[in-house]
Amino acid sequence: MRVLCLYIDKIQFRISSIALYTLWCLHSAVNGALSALPSVKYNFAFYAAPHSMVEKVPPDLAPRVGFNLAFDCKAEMLYALLWFLKGPAAPKYHAPPSNQFGKVSAPSSVKTPGGSQTKVVPIASLNPYQSKWTICARVTQKGQIRTWSNSRGEGKLFSIELVDESGEIRATAFNDQADKFFPLIELNKVYYFTKGNLKTANKQYTAVKNDYEITFTNETSVVPCDDAQHLPSVQFEFVSIADLENTPKDSIVDVIGICKSYEDVTKITVKANNREVSKRNVHLMDISGKLVTATLWGNEAEQFDGSRQPVIAIKGARVSDFGGRSLSVLSSSTVVINPDSPEAFKLRGWFDSEGQLLECASISDVRGGPASGVNTNWKTLFEAKSENLGQGDKADYFSCVGTVVHLRKENCMYQACPSQDCNKKVIDQQNGLYRCEKCDREFPNFKYRMMLLVTIADCLEYQWVTCFQESAEFILGQNAAFLGELKEKNEQAFEEVFQNANFNTYEFRIRVKLETYNDESRIKATAVDVKPVNYREYSKRLIASIRRNAQLG
């Protein structure tokens, strides 16, 4: 039998579910009887709604509530609110405390721009069948204004994400509304939002947990709310990094992890609009011991600082299958550095005590792709050879710490085409001009390009590695133009540059691939990045390696 919980002035009575029907009949009868007595002021009504909504019933909904009912069904929780008002003696209604937040609701009504009062409703109650509504919500994400152009015309838009105690929702402003509201709405501020079209949400582009989304109209108003500090901030539903391996491509997820390492900002050109965009890869690790690569774009990529290995929470990242599993931060995503949450505190404590010593496994690049950065897939040269890296159809990548023990200065540089996107060797025409066969042009000058062959060694093995322009210049400590001039004018000084470059230790990111030349196959190793050794991280890896070997022994 279903149970009905009756509350009269905070005193609970449990009665059978049959009482629900009885009370409904009572409601109809009393309303009918009292309607015949116009001299008596009354208000007797019956209210039913989802549990999450009624928990947030604003106080002004029933200024003098006699009692309320709670009806517990097996399939869902319904609350029935019954009140009877007759004279000033009726007791005030006291909403039951929220189990989710345990804080007071926002102001339950607000003046519209026209001066009239309107009731504030929770986000969870919004649906397309409502035309007039007001919510009080915090802006947890604000995108930039974007433009579009197609066969139907062109326009602009920007989107925001809103949250209150009952839930969250996405809202979008187009064209004139975008121009009107973009400068008025600030991130993390609280506003009253009144009127707007509600439609079914497109879940492909957002992680917001709501079946509907708002479109601003000419009737939409946005009024700041100064008394709503209790409203929650961003709501997350975190997915473990280990679980991303089985998450479908293009899924929108929330993740949290420690910034184990990060790469420098690079620039790429978007083919669609020929626009240059900043990009940075960040490698996140969580308690599962797995590592995933998340890509930041634009200002977030340029302003990110991972030097202190912060905790990073990302809401609404898209799962990609590029190189295993990776994440891309969208324009609709929210990135929070060192969030004030239990998950962040737990992760930080775990990492500082033991996680930083773990040799994590990357799900983004199982064999160590070029986007893995210089701090992942670490190998000794002996391990790289023993595991036959580079023997497959595709190139393999790994990182190592190695010492330069020999540099071959013969043919280490050549005269190249001066065009920006061409590095082909030019032919000296012996008439003051240099011809590039690729560009099919003659130039009065050239630029020096480097192709330096070095031998690196660690404690167990050695390897010949080809270093091109940036890597070679870093090892030699001089740029190619200066070295070219030095070679022509001062051979002894040129020799000293190479001698001084010997026996220096670096972190190498190496690409290995099986190549065939003159019917002879051999592994070619190329340095894709060279950096100074981070001895703090290097020591941690060595300690972790010692511990693993001790356990095996």
Res 111 pLDDT > 80: no
Mean pLDDT on 94-119: 49
Instruction: Please report which confidence band the pLDDT of residue 202 belongs to, taking 50, 70 and 90 as the band edges.
Output: confident
Average pLDDT, the chain: 78
Res 192 pLDDT > 90: yes
Q: If we measure between CA atoms, which residue out of 170, 171, 209, 206 comes closest to residue 52?
A: 209
Q: Which residues pair with 82 in a beta bridge?
A: 46
pLDDT at 294: 94
Instruction: Please report which confidence band the pLDDT of residue 130 belongs to, taking 50, 70 and 90 as the band edges.
Output: confident
Q: Are residues 119 and 10 in the same domain?
A: no
- Is there a domain that residue 98 lies in? no
* Measured distance CA(259)–CA(252) in Å, rounded: 20
- Is there a domain that residue 243 lies in? no
pLDDT at 292: 93
Per residue in 86-101, pLDDT (tens digit) is: 333 333 333 333 333 3
Domain boundary among 335, 352, 369: 352
pLDDT at 40: 39
Q: What is the pTM of this model?
A: 0.51
Mean pLDDT on 77-84: 35
Q: What is the CATH number of the domain that holds 430?
A: 2.40.50.140
Per residue in 321-346, pLDDT (tens digit) is: 876 789 999 888 889 999 988 999 99
pLDDT at 116: 60
| Nearby residues of 227 by Cβ (< 8 Å), 6 or more positions away | 106, 107
Res 230 pLDDT > 50: yes
Residue 495: φ, ψ to 5°: -65, -40
pLDDT at 547: 78
Q: β-strands 361-362, 290-297: how paired?
A: parallel
More confident of the two residues 230 and 496: 496
Tell me the two tokens of residue 356.
Answer: 């930083």
Res 357 pLDDT > 80: no
* Measured distance CA(384)–CA(364) in Å, rounded: 19
Q: Are residues 292 and 401 in the same domain?
A: no
Q: Are residues 69 and 117 in the same domain?
A: no
In the chain, the N- to C-terminal Cα span, in Å, equals 63
Res 4 pLDDT > 90: no
Res 220 pLDDT > 60: yes
| Nearby residues of 183 by Cβ (< 8 Å), 6 or more positions away | none
More confident of the two residues 117 and 71: 117
Domain count along the chain? 4
Res 13 pLDDT > 50: no
Q: Are residues 451 and 403 in the same domain?
A: yes
Q: If we measure between CA atoms, which residue out of 159, 107, 110, 125 comes closest to residue 48?
A: 125
- Is there a domain that residue 187 lies in? yes
Buried b / exposed e over 419-439, threshold 16 CB at 10 Å, is: eeeebeebeeeeeeebebeee
* Measured distance CA(369)–CA(204) in Å, rounded: 28
Q: Which amino acid is at 52?
A: S
- Is there a domain that residue 403 lies in? yes
pLDDT at 453: 95
pLDDT at 376: 59
Instruction: Please report which confidence band the pLDDT of residue 48 belongs to, taking 50, 70 and 90 as the band edges.
Output: very low
* Measured distance CA(31)–CA(292) in Å, rounded: 63
Q: Are residues 393 and 521 in the same domain?
A: yes
∠548-535-379 over CA atoms, to 5°?
A: 45
Q: If we measure between CA atoms, which residue out of 152, 224, 236 comes closest to residue 193?
A: 224
Q: Are residues 428 and 541 in the same domain?
A: yes
Share of the chain above pLDDT 90, in %: 40
Res 377 pLDDT > 70: yes
Share of the chain above pLDDT 70, in %: 75
- Is there a domain that residue 291 lies in? yes
Per residue in 173-188, pLDDT (tens digit) is: 999 999 999 999 998 8
Q: Are residues 532 and 455 in the same domain?
A: yes
Instruction: Please report which confidence band the pLDDT of residue 77 belongs to, taking 50, 70 and 90 as the band edges.
Output: very low
More confident of the two residues 493 and 3: 493
* Measured distance CA(240)–CA(237) in Å, rounded: 10
Helix or strand or coil: residue 61? helix
Q: Which amino acid is at 41?
A: K
Per residue in 509-552, pLDDT (tens digit) is: 999 998 887 778 888 999 999 999 989 888 888 887 887 777 76
Per residue in 256-265, pLDDT (tens digit) is: 999 988 888 8
Q: Are residues 393 and 339 in the same domain?
A: no
Domain hosting 264: range is 249-352
Q: Are residues 28 and 61 in the same domain?
A: yes
Q: Are residues 521 and 392 in the same domain?
A: yes
Instruction: Please report which confidence band the pLDDT of residue 197 belongs to, taking 50, 70 and 90 as the band edges.
Output: very high
More confident of the two residues 408 and 72: 408
| Nearby residues of 411 by Cβ (< 8 Å), 6 or more positions away | 451
- Is there a domain that residue 236 lies in? no
* Measured distance CA(381)–CA(463) in Å, rounded: 7
∠400-403-404 over CA atoms, to 5°?
A: 120
- Is there a domain that residue 102 lies in? no
Q: Are residues 212 and 278 in the same domain?
A: no
Domain boundary among 317, 352, 387: 352
Res 225 pLDDT > 80: yes
Q: Are residues 436 and 389 in the same domain?
A: yes
pLDDT at 108: 62
pLDDT at 216: 96
Mean pLDDT on 203-230: 86
Res 142 pLDDT > 60: yes
- Is there a domain that residue 242 lies in? no
Instruction: Please report which confidence band the pLDDT of residue 155 belongs to, taking 50, 70 and 90 as the band edges.
Output: very high
